[in-house]
Amino acid sequence: MERTSLVILVLLVALAASNAAWVTLYSHSKYNTENLLEENQRLSRQLELLANKVKELDENNTRLLLQLRDISTRYRRLLGLLQQANSTIANAAVVARLIENLNTSLTTLYTYTSTHAYYTPRVRSLFTPGSVADLVMAIIGHPVYTQGSALQDMEKLYEWVQENIQDAPDHNFIAVKDPEYVEIGDSKYIYSFQIDIVDNYIQSPSETLQRMAGDCEDQSILLASMYKIYLEDVGDAWVLCMFSDKYDHCVAIAWIGPEKTFILADPALDYYGKAGGLRSVLDDWLGYVGMSMKQVRRMVAFNDKEYIEDVPYNVIYTIEEKTLS
């Protein structure tokens, strides 16, 4: 009985020890399990944070890709605009050169046609004494004024024009008139003008000699240019044009200082006269053509230096003031 009790006691002690061991093992296992669960939760949270970070990075990357694509699209569009602008600039440069050339041509055409078509200060450029110096020398044997023979020399020059230059009316001539300008920077450009068909063409001495023909103004410009180069600084010469309701006509006039004489030469109407005053020699010529000074509305007098346009008495007074003073 005692033996049985001892066995039971031993068994109970063993069971208690076993239970204690199991309790200890269970407690340790539970602790480890809790630690593992906590670690798992911590790792889960880190994985979640990492997943969120990856998601955020992915979203940022997507956003960057979209922005990059947008920048690329804008760049291509800007490049296209730049290429278009370069093409436009190149075309504009071509157009600018064309406009510049056209403006130069129009300006040249306007200057040329208006000079030859109308009585303006530009007509002075057609009065060219230097171009007839050799001709004067060939006609009278010496190129400039010679005391004692001046009146004869002047008449010889008149006779040469009268005999050698054929009287010919002007042909129709197209002229550019009334240009309007626009200023761009320091330059002026013609943007509007009128085309005028005129029946008047004013020739230079060279043109008249080339044709050996011309009307009254052409013959007068030639002869007055010859007088001017001949007289040099001892006198002066002009083309004098008179306009009236009845008659428009041009003559050559000259003042010979040492001789104190005005000459009026009209090779187109075979007239050559001289007097001490311009009014006197003009009255003689007006009588020759059957007119009076009252019928003359306007006068134009010009040479290579001067252009005078006014009523007759003012023109006469101005020329006499310049020559007699």
pLDDT digits (tens, 9 = 90+) for 54-85: 566 556 557 755 765 765 577 567 667 767 76
Same domain, 86 and 144: no
Residue 253 pairs in a beta bridge with 238, 264
Span of 2-6, 42-46, 205-209, 314-318 with lowest mean pLDDT: 2-6
**CATH code at position 317:** 3.10.620
Q: Which residue has the higher pLDDT, 172 or 34?
A: 172
Same domain, 60 and 143: no
How many beta carbons lie within 10 A of that of residue 53, not counting itself? 10
Q: What is the pLDDT of residue 119?
A: 92
Sign of the Cα torsion 200, 285, 256, 209 reads: positive
In this structure, is residue 197 part of a structural domain?
no
Q: Any idea which residue has 């001495």 for tokens? A: 205
- Banded pLDDT at 111 (limits 50, 70, 90): confident
Span of 62-71, 136-145, 253-262 with lowest mean pLDDT: 62-71
Pull the structure tokens for residue 178.
């009334």
Residue 203 φ then ψ, to 5°: -95, 150
Under a CB-based contact definition with an 8 Å cutoff, are residues 230 and 145 in contact?
yes
In the predicted structure, residue 309 carries a pLDDT above the cut 60: yes
Q: Any idea which residue has 């197209």 for tokens? A: 174
- How many domains are contained in the chain? 2
Q: Which residue has the higher pLDDT, 187 or 201?
A: 201
Task: Print the domain residue range for 27.
Answer: 1-100
Span of 20-24, 37-41, 153-157, 256-260 with lowest mean pLDDT: 20-24
Span of 10-14, 124-128, 148-152, 296-300 with lowest mean pLDDT: 10-14
How many beta carbons lie within 10 A of that of residue 277, not counting itself? 15
Q: What is the pLDDT of residue 151?
A: 95
In this structure, is residue 184 part of a structural domain?
no
Percent of the chain whose pLDDT exceeds 70: 73
Percent of the chain whose pLDDT exceeds 90: 49
- 202 burial class (0-12, 13-18, 19+ CB within 10 angstroms)? buried
Same domain, 6 and 152: no
Under a CB-based contact definition with an 8 Å cutoff, are residues 273 and 286 in contact?
no
Same domain, 160 and 88: no
In this structure, is residue 207 part of a structural domain?
no
Same domain, 246 and 284: yes
Same domain, 298 and 261: yes
Under a CB-based contact definition with an 8 Å cutoff, are residues 226 and 220 in contact?
no
How many beta carbons lie within 10 A of that of residue 307, not counting itself? 17
Q: Which residue has the higher pLDDT, 182 or 297?
A: 297
Distance CA 278, CA 325 (A): 14
Q: Which residue has the higher pLDDT, 269 or 69?
A: 269
Distance CA 42, CA 22 (A): 29
Same domain, 156 and 264: yes
In this structure, is residue 248 part of a structural domain?
yes
Same domain, 159 and 273: yes
Q: Which residue has the higher pLDDT, 92 or 157?
A: 157
Same domain, 84 and 228: no
State mean pLDDT over 217-243: 97
Q: What is the pLDDT of residue 291?
A: 93
In this structure, is residue 119 part of a structural domain?
no
Same domain, 223 and 304: yes
Element (DSSP H or E) covering residue 268: none
In the predicted structure, residue 308 carries a pLDDT above the cut 90: yes
In this structure, is residue 123 part of a structural domain?
no
Is the pTM higher than 0.85? The answer reads: no
State mean pLDDT over 35-45: 70
Distance CA 123, CA 64 (A): 77
In the predicted structure, residue 128 carries a pLDDT above the cut 70: yes
